[in-house]
Structure 1
Amino acid sequence: MKIQSRLTSLDDEQMSDAQRAVLKDILSGPRGNLDGPFLAWIHSPELADHAQRLGAFCRYHTQLSLRLTELAILATASWWRSQAEWQIHEPIAREAGVSADIIESLRTGKAPDFSAADESLVYRVARELYDTRRVSDELYRDAVDGLGEVAVVELVGVLGYYALVAMTLNVFEVRRGEAPLPFSEPAA
């Protein structure tokens, strides 16, 4: 899929040895492509290396199920109105079991109607953290009781990492192909 951005294109001749090394790590890892924020981060190979390792943990190795991780990612993409993040993760979330109604509610900025308690907790933590920059004592207790303390720590990591992804994609206007954008762009 063609990826567009406002970044300078890099080809093999322009890349440093450090960029080539981190590109090799990214391409040989679970992602297998230079999609999303890596298009930007490869310009700073040290950032790309650290970020791709953190991202691999957040996406593939937390105590959260893929369904809950993808829900957290879509909540983040929605809050940041991150076009490419949504385009990349919406089909993954759907495949992982996030319902079409929840996905559409998130895309349109409406509070979803959850039937699963764990999904509700993930959304409530994400929303309260993004809206207030804190999590209340009551919600914290509910989240730890419902998800476990380690999973709550990891959920905050997932939200933070994907906020970094969203900011990167927004600043560098990363777009995937010619597909319609999921969010309207703010007026300039």
Structure 2
Amino acid sequence: MTKSNRLPAIVREQMTSEQTAMLDAILAGPRKNLNGPFVAWIHSPALGELAQRLGAFCRYETGLPLRLSELAILATAAAWQSQAEWHIHLPIAVEAGILPDVAEQIRQGATPDFPLEDERVIWNFANELYRDKRVSERTYAAAVAMFGLPVVVNLVGLLGYYALVAMTLNAFGMRAEGQGEGDLPFAETVL
């Protein structure tokens, strides 16, 4: 379970029926754990239920291969400097085929040296959207030509969902399961 220094501890016996229904849905779904923003969202089960269903679609049903979905998630984690999001998704991305050197370049804020064109297209799309708040005609056309319009729409949804995840994790000072203070991929900003 993700830890937070801002959220009160909550145990099943203290949960409302809506909270336990959300908890049970998450644990019965493809994730099978609460690692990520779910500990925060359980405090607002109406939001949490909708968000976790959207997240299941964005993670597993976008039409992108896992390697490219995880690349988009790493781009999001780096853009938001989300400690827990990076910690959770880095091993998944590497196992799915993202080269460790490429992931490290993303973490450092460098322009990655991608071995595959589909990775470059996903990176350009995500990077432009986060950096410029828009996507250039060239990048948009390349993404649609490579993946098709429905998948590009889903990519935007995936990026938006994981930005929500990153904001949740950052706002509530959340760390991933097993993530210690010496395990932070980004310099910690204390306000």
Deviation of residue 181 (structure 1)? 0.3
Deviation of residue 151 (structure 1)? 1.2
Higher mean displacement: 9-18 or 118-127:
9-18
Deviation of residue 4 (structure 1)? 3.5
Indicate the residue corresponding to 2:54 in structure 1.
54
Indicate the residue corresponding to 1:105 in structure 2.
105
Indicate the residue corresponding to 1:185 in structure 2.
188
Question: How far apart in 1 are the matches of 2:56 and 2:5?
Answer: 23
Question: How far apart in 2 are the matches of 1:2 and 1:56?
Answer: 18
Q: TM-score, normalised by structure 2?
A: 0.95
Supply the AA of the counterpart residue of 1:184: A
Deviation of residue 187 (structure 1)? 4.5
CA RMSD across the alignment: 1.2
Q: How does 1:10-159 map to 2 (within 5 A)?
A: 10-159=10-159
SS of equivalent residue, structure 1 residue 85: helix
Question: How far apart in 2 are the matches of 1:4 and 1:18?
Answer: 21
Deviations 1:80-125 (A, max 9, x none): 0000000000000011000011110011111100121110000000
Deviations 1:20-51 (A, max 9, x none): 01100000001001111001001000111000
Indicate the residue corresponding to 1:5 in structure 2.
5
Question: How far apart in 1 are the matches of 2:152 and 2:29?
Answer: 26
Deviation of residue 13 (structure 1)? 2.2
Supply the AA of the counterpart residue of 2:185: P
Structure 2: gaps (5+ residues): none
Identity of aligned residues (%): 57
Question: How far apart in 2 are the matches of 1:36 and 1:63?
Answer: 23
Deviation of residue 18 (structure 1)? 0.4
